[in-house]
Amino acid sequence: MGFSTDAIHAGQQPDEATNAVITPIYMTSTYAQPEYGTSKGYKYGRTANLTRFSLERNIATLEKARYGLAFSSGVAAVHSICTLLKNGDHVIVGDNVYGGTYRLFQFVMKDFGLDFTWVDTSDVANIKSAIKENTKLIYVETPTNPLLTLTDLKAVSSLAKENDLITVCDNTFMSPYFQNPLIHGIDITLHSTTKYLNGHSDVIGGIVVTNNEKIFERLKYIQNALGAVPSPFDCWLTLRSTKTLAVRMDRHNTNAMAIANALKSNPAINRVIYPGLPDHPHHELAKKQMNGFGGMVSIELPSFEDAKRLMNHVKVFTLAESLGGVESLLCHPASMTHASVPKEVKDKIGLTDGIVRLSVGIEDVEDLISDLTYAIK
């Protein structure tokens, strides 16, 4: 089936009790066992919930995956992946990932004996030279948050296969509509469903998808054992939202492209970073690996003062963390989403104080452009 057909139907069928077209919210913590030792396969809400299963099937289908597992947040999804590893294992990670991922790896998982090497994964040679005897996993974001750097997923997966390593891609910025890492050979794709998949800034959630049965079985065990499951209501809201993912993403994409084009010649801006612009260093890879360029644009102003002035003068954009909702947001990554990343790391990757990140929504693009140009002026 096509993407939109799957988005609307996959994982869902009329409810058995009433033929309700929309999957109900099974708001229950437990299930009756008619006689000792009998059940319909549902015994306890953390372990099994039909609304959650529908969401997992739905997003797995959109990601061309056999298996999906939903979590209570994107960070919980990343944490679940860490539990595939053991004390003493080594991980190679992109040096620009979401600040919360950096915090989890560097300031929590390191204390459990995991070893991390941070490299610029846009050059696969950097990954190759970081491989050690105890390396078990390669973790990338592409495009990265917030610098929008791309990594060649095919090249990473073939390097990993040669070295028997697990590959993970955080696909939050693209959504399954614009990129499917598994078709490039990646083992595990994850999303913060808080972002484009839910798309309405009213749910915190995460999902992990894979085609690997062994990884799925272990993560399913972990999902139940750690217990970071989403509520049935949050699953229902997200399932409601994926139905419109294709139309929302198309609009995010055209609005972001128009904004990037409108701002690139603005003399008050040093740099507009958007994979859809021909001068983006990974534009050719973007065209090859993705089906669109997404709704995230980062702009660099000369100083923090300029960035602050912009953030304080917008009227349609809202100054807030997060992204991927229908409404346009902007934020200051260096002090907000990436506050946990030490200054020397920010300096190394070029995350300067002048950078403002735009999550371009689906409003009328003329309003967004005049809002930004006024605030910049």
Can you tell me the distance from the alpha carbon of 108 to that of 43, in angstroms, rounded to the nearest whole number? Answer: 33
Segment holding 306, helix H or strand E? helix 304-313
Q: Between 306 and 345, how does the x/- string for binding to ligand P1T read (CB under 6 A)?
A: ---------------xxx-------------x--------
Q: Which is closer to ligand P1T, CB of 84 or CB of 208?
A: 208
Nearest to 190 by CA among 213, 221, 167: 167
Is residue 313 exposed (0-12), middle (13-18) or buried (19+ Cβ within 10 Å)? middle
Strand arrangement of the beta sheet that strand 188-192 belongs to: 67-71, 206-210, 188-192, 166-170, 135-141, 90-94, 115-119
Single-letter amino acid code for the residue at 251: R
Tell me if residue 195 is catalytic.
Answer: yes
To the query of whether residue 46 is one of the catalytic residues in this protein, the response is: yes
What is the CA angle 196-199-201, rounded to 5? 120
Between CA 337 and CA 99 the distance in angstroms is 6
Decide: is 11 part of the binding site for ligand P1T (CB under 6 A): no
Q: Contacts with ligand P1T in 206-225 (CB under 6 A)?
A: 206
Total residues interacting with ligand P1T, rule: CB under 6 A: 18
Q: Is 309 among the residues known to form the active site?
A: no
Catalytic residue among 26, 98, 177, 196: 98
Contact string (CB under 6 A) for ligand P1T, positions 174-193, x = contact:
------------------x-
Record the tokens describing residue 5, joined without a space: 């057909």
Judged by CB, which is closer to ligand P1T: 6, or 138?
Answer: 138
214: enclosing H helix or E strand? helix 213-226
Separation in Å, CA 361 to CA 101, 296, 301, 358, 368: 24, 9, 21, 9, 9
- Which one of 15, 31, 42, 46 is the catalytic residue? 46
Q: What residues pair up with 299 in beta bridges, in sequence order?
A: 272, 356
The residue (of 6 and 194) whose beta carbon lies closer to ligand P1T is 194
344 CA to centre of own chain: 25
Nearer to ligand P1T, 157 or 171 (CB): 171
Identify which of residues 105 and 216 has a Cβ nearer to ligand P1T in the complex.
105
- The one-letter code for the residue type at 356 is V
**Is residue 143 within the footprint of ligand P1T (CB under 6 A)?**
no
Scanning 60-68, 71-79, 242-250, 280-288 for contacts with ligand P1T by CB under 6 A, the matching segment is 71-79
User: Cβ of 320: how many Cβ atoms within 10 Å?
Assistant: 15
Check: CB of residue 171 under 8 Å from CB of residue 181: yes
Q: Which of 60, 75, 245, 314 forms a contact with ligand P1T (CB under 6 A)?
A: 75
Nearer to ligand P1T, 276 or 294 (CB): 294
Residue of minimal CB distance from ligand P1T?
74
Would you count residue 172 as binding ligand P1T (CB under 6 A)? yes
Please report, as ranges, the residues that interact with ligand P1T according to CB under 6 A: 73-75, 98, 100-101, 141, 145, 170, 172, 192, 194, 204, 206, 321-323, 337
| Residues acting as catalytic residues | 46, 98, 170, 195
